[in-house]
Structure 1
Amino acid sequence: MKKDILRVHLVVLSLLLVIWLVPTNYNFLIWNLFLALVPFDLALIIRYLSGKKGQLLLKLGLTVVWLAFFPNAMYMVTDFSHLSSIGTGLMTETQFFNYAILAVGVLMGLLFGLSSAHIIGRVYGGVLSSTWTVVLSFVSAYGIYLGRFLRINSWELISAPHKVLTLFLTSLSSHSLVFVISFGSLQFALLVLYHMMRRINTD
Protein backbone atom coordinates (compact mmCIF):
# COMPACT_ATOMS: atom_id res chain seq x y z
CA MET A 1 0.00 0.00 0.00
CA LYS A 2 2.69 2.51 1.00
CA LYS A 3 4.75 1.60 -2.04
CA ASP A 4 1.74 2.15 -4.31
CA ILE A 5 1.12 5.57 -2.77
CA LEU A 6 4.76 6.46 -3.33
CA ARG A 7 4.58 5.27 -6.94
CA VAL A 8 1.50 7.43 -7.56
CA HIS A 9 3.37 10.50 -6.34
CA LEU A 10 6.41 9.60 -8.42
CA VAL A 11 4.22 9.35 -11.53
CA VAL A 12 2.76 12.78 -10.80
CA LEU A 13 6.21 14.22 -10.16
CA SER A 14 7.47 12.75 -13.43
CA LEU A 15 4.64 14.37 -15.37
CA LEU A 16 5.20 17.70 -13.64
CA LEU A 17 8.89 17.56 -14.57
CA VAL A 18 8.02 16.85 -18.21
CA ILE A 19 5.64 19.81 -18.29
CA TRP A 20 8.24 22.01 -16.60
CA LEU A 21 11.19 21.00 -18.79
CA VAL A 22 9.56 20.47 -22.19
CA PRO A 23 7.88 23.45 -23.91
CA THR A 24 4.10 22.99 -23.93
CA ASN A 25 1.02 25.20 -23.89
CA TYR A 26 -0.03 23.81 -20.54
CA ASN A 27 2.32 24.88 -17.76
CA PHE A 28 -0.77 25.71 -15.69
CA LEU A 29 -1.20 21.94 -15.24
CA ILE A 30 1.65 21.99 -12.71
CA TRP A 31 -0.40 24.05 -10.26
CA ASN A 32 -3.72 22.41 -11.13
CA LEU A 33 -2.35 18.90 -10.64
CA PHE A 34 -0.83 19.87 -7.32
CA LEU A 35 -4.22 21.16 -6.15
CA ALA A 36 -5.91 17.99 -7.47
CA LEU A 37 -3.49 15.85 -5.48
CA VAL A 38 -4.34 17.63 -2.21
CA PRO A 39 -7.81 16.03 -1.69
CA PHE A 40 -6.37 12.61 -2.55
CA ASP A 41 -3.63 12.96 0.07
CA LEU A 42 -6.11 14.35 2.60
CA ALA A 43 -8.39 11.35 2.02
CA LEU A 44 -5.47 9.00 2.67
CA ILE A 45 -4.66 10.83 5.92
CA ILE A 46 -8.32 10.72 6.98
CA ARG A 47 -8.46 6.99 6.29
CA TYR A 48 -5.31 6.51 8.37
CA LEU A 49 -6.80 8.53 11.26
CA SER A 50 -10.04 6.54 11.14
CA GLY A 51 -8.14 3.60 12.58
CA LYS A 52 -6.75 5.64 15.46
CA LYS A 53 -8.50 6.30 18.74
CA GLY A 54 -9.02 9.85 19.95
CA GLN A 55 -8.61 11.41 16.50
CA LEU A 56 -12.29 12.11 15.72
CA LEU A 57 -12.08 15.91 15.85
CA LEU A 58 -8.94 15.96 13.72
CA LYS A 59 -10.53 13.59 11.23
CA LEU A 60 -13.68 15.73 11.00
CA GLY A 61 -11.62 18.90 10.61
CA LEU A 62 -9.56 17.38 7.81
CA THR A 63 -12.76 16.16 6.14
CA VAL A 64 -14.00 19.77 6.00
CA VAL A 65 -10.68 20.78 4.44
CA TRP A 66 -11.00 17.86 2.01
CA LEU A 67 -14.47 19.08 0.98
CA ALA A 68 -13.07 22.56 0.32
CA PHE A 69 -10.29 21.19 -1.90
CA PHE A 70 -12.26 18.40 -3.61
CA PRO A 71 -13.56 20.67 -6.42
CA ASN A 72 -9.95 21.37 -7.42
CA ALA A 73 -9.62 17.79 -8.68
CA MET A 74 -12.92 17.73 -10.57
CA TYR A 75 -12.21 21.25 -11.85
CA MET A 76 -9.63 19.78 -14.17
CA VAL A 77 -12.27 18.51 -16.59
CA THR A 78 -12.77 22.15 -17.57
CA ASP A 79 -9.11 22.37 -18.59
CA PHE A 80 -10.08 20.73 -21.88
CA SER A 81 -11.23 24.23 -22.84
CA HIS A 82 -7.53 25.02 -23.35
CA LEU A 83 -7.42 22.73 -26.38
CA SER A 84 -8.26 25.83 -28.38
CA SER A 85 -4.67 26.97 -27.88
CA ILE A 86 -3.41 24.21 -30.20
CA GLY A 87 -6.42 23.91 -32.48
CA THR A 88 -9.08 21.22 -32.47
CA GLY A 89 -7.57 19.13 -35.25
CA LEU A 90 -4.92 16.53 -34.54
CA MET A 91 -2.67 17.09 -37.54
CA THR A 92 0.84 17.93 -36.35
CA GLU A 93 3.41 16.45 -33.98
CA THR A 94 3.12 19.50 -31.72
CA GLN A 95 -0.63 18.99 -31.44
CA PHE A 96 -0.15 15.29 -30.66
CA PHE A 97 2.23 16.03 -27.80
CA ASN A 98 0.26 18.92 -26.32
CA TYR A 99 -2.99 16.99 -26.51
CA ALA A 100 -1.40 13.99 -24.77
CA ILE A 101 -0.01 16.20 -21.99
CA LEU A 102 -3.35 17.93 -21.42
CA ALA A 103 -5.35 14.70 -21.55
CA VAL A 104 -3.14 12.82 -19.08
CA GLY A 105 -3.16 15.80 -16.72
CA VAL A 106 -6.95 16.12 -16.80
CA LEU A 107 -7.51 12.38 -16.37
CA MET A 108 -5.03 12.23 -13.48
CA GLY A 109 -6.87 15.04 -11.72
CA LEU A 110 -10.23 13.35 -12.21
CA LEU A 111 -8.89 10.05 -10.88
CA PHE A 112 -7.53 11.78 -7.78
CA GLY A 113 -10.95 13.33 -7.17
CA LEU A 114 -12.93 10.15 -7.77
CA SER A 115 -10.56 8.06 -5.67
CA SER A 116 -10.58 10.54 -2.79
CA ALA A 117 -14.40 10.61 -2.78
CA HIS A 118 -14.45 6.81 -2.72
CA ILE A 119 -12.02 6.72 0.22
CA ILE A 120 -14.07 9.28 2.18
CA GLY A 121 -17.23 7.32 1.44
CA ARG A 122 -15.70 4.15 2.87
CA VAL A 123 -14.46 6.00 5.96
CA TYR A 124 -17.94 7.34 6.69
CA GLY A 125 -20.13 4.29 6.25
CA GLY A 126 -18.79 1.86 3.70
CA VAL A 127 -19.92 3.61 0.51
CA LEU A 128 -21.27 7.04 -0.31
CA SER A 129 -25.06 7.17 -0.14
CA SER A 130 -26.94 8.40 -3.21
CA THR A 131 -28.01 11.55 -1.37
CA TRP A 132 -24.47 12.41 -0.32
CA THR A 133 -23.17 11.73 -3.83
CA VAL A 134 -25.74 14.12 -5.30
CA VAL A 135 -24.94 16.82 -2.74
CA LEU A 136 -21.20 16.40 -3.22
CA SER A 137 -21.54 16.52 -7.01
CA PHE A 138 -23.51 19.75 -7.14
CA VAL A 139 -21.65 21.51 -4.33
CA SER A 140 -18.42 20.64 -6.13
CA ALA A 141 -19.87 21.88 -9.42
CA TYR A 142 -20.55 25.26 -7.84
CA GLY A 143 -17.04 25.26 -6.44
CA ILE A 144 -15.74 24.63 -9.96
CA TYR A 145 -17.85 27.52 -11.25
CA LEU A 146 -16.46 29.86 -8.60
CA GLY A 147 -12.93 28.80 -9.46
CA ARG A 148 -13.25 28.84 -13.25
CA PHE A 149 -15.24 32.04 -13.71
CA LEU A 150 -14.71 34.05 -10.51
CA ARG A 151 -11.14 32.83 -9.84
CA ILE A 152 -11.83 31.98 -6.19
CA ASN A 153 -9.31 29.66 -4.53
CA SER A 154 -10.16 27.07 -1.87
CA TRP A 155 -8.07 28.74 0.84
CA GLU A 156 -10.01 31.99 0.41
CA LEU A 157 -12.84 30.33 2.33
CA ILE A 158 -10.61 31.02 5.34
CA SER A 159 -8.48 33.98 4.24
CA ALA A 160 -11.27 36.02 2.60
CA PRO A 161 -14.68 34.58 3.58
CA HIS A 162 -16.49 37.91 3.02
CA LYS A 163 -15.17 38.08 -0.54
CA VAL A 164 -16.22 34.50 -1.22
CA LEU A 165 -19.72 35.08 0.18
CA THR A 166 -20.16 38.29 -1.81
CA LEU A 167 -19.05 36.69 -5.07
CA PHE A 168 -21.15 33.62 -4.34
CA LEU A 169 -24.30 35.71 -3.89
CA THR A 170 -23.65 37.85 -6.96
CA SER A 171 -22.90 34.78 -9.09
CA LEU A 172 -26.40 33.31 -8.72
CA SER A 173 -27.73 33.49 -12.28
CA SER A 174 -29.03 31.37 -15.14
CA HIS A 175 -25.42 31.12 -16.36
CA SER A 176 -24.21 29.58 -13.10
CA LEU A 177 -27.34 27.43 -12.78
CA VAL A 178 -26.87 25.78 -16.17
CA PHE A 179 -23.17 25.22 -15.42
CA VAL A 180 -23.89 23.66 -12.01
CA ILE A 181 -26.62 21.39 -13.40
CA SER A 182 -24.41 20.29 -16.30
CA PHE A 183 -21.20 19.69 -14.37
CA GLY A 184 -22.99 18.43 -11.27
CA SER A 185 -24.69 15.78 -13.39
CA LEU A 186 -21.35 14.93 -14.99
CA GLN A 187 -19.68 14.48 -11.60
CA PHE A 188 -22.58 12.43 -10.26
CA ALA A 189 -22.36 10.07 -13.24
CA LEU A 190 -18.58 9.73 -12.87
CA LEU A 191 -18.77 9.13 -9.11
CA VAL A 192 -21.51 6.51 -9.42
CA LEU A 193 -19.72 4.75 -12.29
CA TYR A 194 -16.41 4.79 -10.40
CA HIS A 195 -17.97 3.29 -7.26
CA MET A 196 -19.75 0.58 -9.28
CA MET A 197 -16.54 -0.34 -11.10
CA ARG A 198 -14.66 -0.51 -7.80
CA ARG A 199 -17.30 -2.90 -6.43
CA ILE A 200 -17.02 -5.05 -9.56
CA ASN A 201 -13.25 -5.23 -9.17
CA THR A 202 -13.50 -6.32 -5.53
CA ASP A 203 -16.09 -9.09 -6.13
Structure 2
Amino acid sequence: MSARIFITGNITYIFLSWNLFLAWVPLALAFMLRKTYHQGDHPLSKVVLMPLFSLWLLFFPNAPYLVTDLVHINYHYGARYWFDLVLIYLFAFSGLSTGMLSLYWVHQVIKEMFSPIWGWLAVAGSSLLAGYGVYLGRILRWNSWDLFTHPLQVLKDSTLQIHDHTAQAITLVFGLLLFSIYFLFISLLQYKYEPYGQIQH
Protein backbone atom coordinates (compact mmCIF):
# COMPACT_ATOMS: atom_id res chain seq x y z
CA MET A 1 0.00 0.00 0.00
CA SER A 2 2.79 2.42 0.92
CA ALA A 3 4.60 1.61 -2.34
CA ARG A 4 1.47 2.36 -4.39
CA ILE A 5 0.92 5.69 -2.64
CA PHE A 6 4.58 6.61 -3.19
CA ILE A 7 4.59 5.62 -6.87
CA THR A 8 1.21 7.01 -7.93
CA GLY A 9 0.91 9.93 -5.54
CA ASN A 10 -2.72 9.12 -4.65
CA ILE A 11 -4.47 7.26 -1.86
CA THR A 12 -7.20 5.60 -3.92
CA TYR A 13 -7.03 2.27 -2.10
CA ILE A 14 -6.24 3.53 1.38
CA PHE A 15 -9.64 2.20 2.48
CA LEU A 16 -8.21 -1.33 2.16
CA SER A 17 -6.13 -0.74 5.28
CA TRP A 18 -9.26 0.15 7.24
CA ASN A 19 -11.13 -2.86 5.87
CA LEU A 20 -8.22 -5.12 6.83
CA PHE A 21 -8.24 -3.68 10.34
CA LEU A 22 -11.96 -4.53 10.60
CA ALA A 23 -11.13 -8.06 9.39
CA TRP A 24 -8.79 -8.43 12.37
CA VAL A 25 -11.54 -7.51 14.85
CA PRO A 26 -13.25 -10.96 14.71
CA LEU A 27 -9.83 -12.58 15.19
CA ALA A 28 -9.29 -10.58 18.36
CA LEU A 29 -12.81 -11.41 19.58
CA ALA A 30 -12.33 -15.12 18.80
CA PHE A 31 -9.06 -15.07 20.73
CA MET A 32 -10.83 -13.51 23.72
CA LEU A 33 -13.63 -16.09 23.41
CA ARG A 34 -11.13 -18.95 23.33
CA LYS A 35 -9.12 -17.59 26.25
CA THR A 36 -12.25 -16.95 28.31
CA TYR A 37 -13.53 -20.47 27.65
CA HIS A 38 -10.28 -22.03 28.83
CA GLN A 39 -10.56 -20.02 32.05
CA GLY A 40 -13.64 -22.03 32.95
CA ASP A 41 -13.02 -21.81 36.67
CA HIS A 42 -13.42 -18.04 36.60
CA PRO A 43 -16.87 -16.91 37.86
CA LEU A 44 -17.46 -14.60 34.90
CA SER A 45 -16.17 -16.92 32.18
CA LYS A 46 -19.55 -18.46 31.27
CA VAL A 47 -21.34 -15.13 31.54
CA VAL A 48 -19.28 -13.34 28.90
CA LEU A 49 -19.06 -16.20 26.37
CA MET A 50 -22.37 -15.44 24.67
CA PRO A 51 -21.76 -11.66 24.35
CA LEU A 52 -18.29 -12.38 22.93
CA PHE A 53 -19.72 -14.87 20.45
CA SER A 54 -22.42 -12.38 19.42
CA LEU A 55 -19.83 -9.66 18.85
CA TRP A 56 -17.65 -12.06 16.89
CA LEU A 57 -20.60 -13.04 14.69
CA LEU A 58 -21.39 -9.37 14.12
CA PHE A 59 -17.87 -8.51 12.92
CA PHE A 60 -17.06 -11.82 11.20
CA PRO A 61 -18.44 -10.69 7.78
CA ASN A 62 -15.70 -8.05 7.67
CA ALA A 63 -13.19 -10.81 6.90
CA PRO A 64 -14.74 -12.11 3.62
CA TYR A 65 -15.93 -8.60 2.75
CA LEU A 66 -12.42 -7.78 1.52
CA VAL A 67 -12.99 -10.13 -1.41
CA THR A 68 -15.69 -7.80 -2.73
CA ASP A 69 -13.20 -4.92 -2.90
CA LEU A 70 -12.22 -6.37 -6.28
CA VAL A 71 -15.10 -4.33 -7.70
CA HIS A 72 -12.89 -1.25 -7.32
CA ILE A 73 -10.39 -2.48 -9.90
CA ASN A 74 -9.99 -0.09 -12.83
CA TYR A 75 -10.22 -2.26 -15.94
CA HIS A 76 -7.87 -0.17 -18.08
CA TYR A 77 -5.21 -2.80 -18.59
CA GLY A 78 -1.67 -1.75 -17.91
CA ALA A 79 1.07 -2.00 -15.32
CA ARG A 80 -1.02 -0.27 -12.67
CA TYR A 81 -3.95 -2.64 -13.27
CA TRP A 82 -1.86 -5.72 -12.44
CA PHE A 83 -0.27 -4.01 -9.46
CA ASP A 84 -3.69 -3.05 -8.09
CA LEU A 85 -5.05 -6.54 -8.77
CA VAL A 86 -2.25 -8.18 -6.77
CA LEU A 87 -2.61 -5.56 -4.02
CA ILE A 88 -6.33 -6.24 -3.52
CA TYR A 89 -5.79 -9.99 -3.75
CA LEU A 90 -3.22 -9.75 -0.94
CA PHE A 91 -5.62 -7.80 1.24
CA ALA A 92 -8.43 -10.23 0.45
CA PHE A 93 -6.21 -13.22 1.22
CA SER A 94 -5.14 -11.64 4.52
CA GLY A 95 -8.76 -10.99 5.44
CA LEU A 96 -9.83 -14.54 4.60
CA SER A 97 -6.87 -15.98 6.52
CA THR A 98 -7.71 -14.09 9.70
CA GLY A 99 -11.36 -14.99 9.21
CA MET A 100 -10.62 -18.71 8.89
CA LEU A 101 -8.44 -18.68 11.99
CA SER A 102 -11.10 -16.88 14.00
CA LEU A 103 -13.74 -19.33 12.75
CA TYR A 104 -11.48 -22.23 13.70
CA TRP A 105 -11.12 -20.97 17.27
CA VAL A 106 -14.87 -20.45 17.59
CA HIS A 107 -15.49 -23.89 16.08
CA GLN A 108 -13.20 -25.55 18.62
CA VAL A 109 -14.87 -23.79 21.57
CA ILE A 110 -18.39 -24.75 20.47
CA LYS A 111 -17.31 -28.31 19.72
CA GLU A 112 -15.80 -28.68 23.19
CA MET A 113 -18.75 -27.03 24.90
CA PHE A 114 -21.42 -29.08 23.12
CA SER A 115 -20.50 -31.63 20.45
CA PRO A 116 -18.80 -31.96 17.04
CA ILE A 117 -22.19 -31.75 15.32
CA TRP A 118 -22.98 -28.46 17.00
CA GLY A 119 -19.53 -27.24 16.07
CA TRP A 120 -20.11 -27.85 12.37
CA LEU A 121 -23.63 -26.43 12.55
CA ALA A 122 -22.09 -23.27 14.00
CA VAL A 123 -19.60 -23.15 11.13
CA ALA A 124 -22.34 -23.55 8.51
CA GLY A 125 -24.61 -21.01 10.19
CA SER A 126 -21.79 -18.50 10.64
CA SER A 127 -20.80 -18.88 6.98
CA LEU A 128 -24.33 -18.17 5.76
CA LEU A 129 -24.79 -15.24 8.13
CA ALA A 130 -21.45 -13.85 7.01
CA GLY A 131 -22.63 -14.15 3.42
CA TYR A 132 -25.72 -12.12 4.31
CA GLY A 133 -23.49 -9.65 6.13
CA VAL A 134 -21.43 -9.21 2.95
CA TYR A 135 -24.64 -8.38 1.08
CA LEU A 136 -25.69 -5.85 3.71
CA GLY A 137 -22.26 -4.26 3.59
CA ARG A 138 -21.57 -4.21 -0.15
CA ILE A 139 -25.09 -3.62 -1.51
CA LEU A 140 -26.86 -1.72 1.28
CA ARG A 141 -23.64 -0.14 2.59
CA TRP A 142 -24.24 -0.97 6.24
CA ASN A 143 -21.29 -1.41 8.59
CA SER A 144 -20.98 -3.61 11.67
CA TRP A 145 -20.96 -0.65 14.04
CA ASP A 146 -24.17 0.72 12.48
CA LEU A 147 -26.03 -1.84 14.58
CA PHE A 148 -25.04 0.30 17.58
CA THR A 149 -25.59 3.72 15.98
CA HIS A 150 -28.72 2.93 13.88
CA PRO A 151 -30.03 -0.32 15.36
CA LEU A 152 -33.67 -0.01 14.30
CA GLN A 153 -32.88 0.85 10.67
CA VAL A 154 -30.29 -1.92 10.39
CA LEU A 155 -32.68 -4.49 11.85
CA LYS A 156 -35.48 -3.27 9.59
CA ASP A 157 -33.36 -3.53 6.43
CA SER A 158 -31.90 -6.86 7.50
CA THR A 159 -35.37 -8.29 7.96
CA LEU A 160 -36.90 -6.86 4.80
CA GLN A 161 -34.04 -7.95 2.53
CA ILE A 162 -34.27 -11.63 3.47
CA HIS A 163 -36.79 -12.23 0.66
CA ASP A 164 -34.74 -10.34 -1.95
CA HIS A 165 -33.40 -12.69 -4.65
CA THR A 166 -30.09 -10.85 -4.92
CA ALA A 167 -29.65 -11.07 -1.16
CA GLN A 168 -30.39 -14.78 -1.21
CA ALA A 169 -27.97 -15.41 -4.09
CA ILE A 170 -25.09 -13.46 -2.52
CA THR A 171 -25.73 -15.07 0.85
CA LEU A 172 -25.66 -18.56 -0.65
CA VAL A 173 -22.61 -17.95 -2.84
CA PHE A 174 -20.50 -16.40 -0.10
CA GLY A 175 -21.79 -18.84 2.49
CA LEU A 176 -20.74 -21.81 0.35
CA LEU A 177 -17.44 -20.12 -0.48
CA LEU A 178 -16.60 -19.56 3.18
CA PHE A 179 -17.66 -23.05 4.22
CA SER A 180 -15.61 -24.61 1.40
CA ILE A 181 -12.51 -22.56 2.24
CA TYR A 182 -12.87 -23.40 5.91
CA PHE A 183 -13.30 -27.10 5.17
CA LEU A 184 -10.07 -27.02 3.14
CA PHE A 185 -8.38 -25.00 5.89
CA ILE A 186 -9.27 -27.42 8.67
CA SER A 187 -8.48 -30.46 6.47
CA LEU A 188 -4.95 -29.16 5.95
CA LEU A 189 -4.57 -28.56 9.69
CA GLN A 190 -5.48 -32.16 10.42
CA TYR A 191 -2.83 -33.69 8.15
CA LYS A 192 0.26 -35.17 9.82
CA TYR A 193 3.40 -35.42 7.76
CA GLU A 194 5.59 -38.45 8.34
CA PRO A 195 9.40 -38.25 8.09
CA TYR A 196 9.55 -40.29 4.89
CA GLY A 197 6.97 -38.32 2.97
CA GLN A 198 3.95 -40.42 3.87
CA ILE A 199 0.84 -38.51 4.78
CA GLN A 200 -1.54 -39.75 7.43
CA HIS A 201 -4.76 -38.39 8.82
Q: TM-score, normalised by structure 2?
A: 0.81
Establish whether residue 185 from structure 1 lines up as the match of residue 176 from structure 2. Answer: yes
- Counterpart of 2:147 (choices 153, 157, 165) is 157
The CA distance in 2 between the partners of 1:21 and 1:115, in whole Å, is 32
Q: Which runs of 5+ in 2 are unaligned?
A: 194-200
Aligned to 2:66: 76
Aligned to 1:45: 32
Number of residues paired by the alignment? 184
Aligned to 1:59: 49
Q: Mark the CA change 1:43 to 1:201 in structure 2 (over 3 Å): closer, same or farther.
A: farther
Could you tell me whether the CA contact under 8 Å between 1:32 and 1:76 is conserved in 2? yes
The CA distance in 1 between the partners of 2:4 and 2:36, in whole Å, is 34
- Counterpart of 1:35 (choices 18, 22, 32) is 22
Q: For residue 99 of structure 1, what is the amino acid of its counterpart? A: L
The sequence identity of aligned pairs, in percent, is 29
The CA distance in 2 between the partners of 1:18 and 1:41, in whole Å, is 28
Q: TM-score, normalised by structure 1?
A: 0.81
Which shows bigger deviation, 172-181 or 135-144? 172-181
Establish whether residue 97 from structure 1 lines up as the match of residue 88 from structure 2. Answer: no
| DSSP-derived class of the 2:111 partner | coil
Deviations 1:93-131 (A, max 9, x none): x23322221111110001011110001111222567332
Q: For residue 70 of structure 1, what is the amino acid of its counterpart? A: F
Q: Which has the higher helix share?
A: 1
Q: For residue 83 of structure 2, what is the amino acid of its counterpart? A: F
Which has the bigger relative contact order, CA under 8 A and spacing at least 6? 1
- Counterpart of 2:165 (choices 174, 179, 188) is 174
Aligned to 2:197: none
CA RMSD of superposed structures (Å)? 2.2
* Shift in Å, 1:19: 6.3
The CA distance in 2 between the partners of 1:81 and 1:99, in whole Å, is 10
| DSSP-derived class of the 2:22 partner | helix
Establish whether residue 197 from structure 1 lines up as the match of residue 183 from structure 2. Answer: no
Larger radius of gyration: 2
* Shift in Å, 1:18: 5.2
Q: For residue 175 of structure 1, what is the amino acid of its counterpart? A: T
Deviations 1:141-186 (A, max 9, x none): 1111001111111122233221012212332311111111111111
* Shift in Å, 1:24: 5.5
Aligned to 1:143: 133
Q: Mark the CA change 1:21 to 1:51 in structure 2 (over 3 Å): closer, same or farther.
A: farther
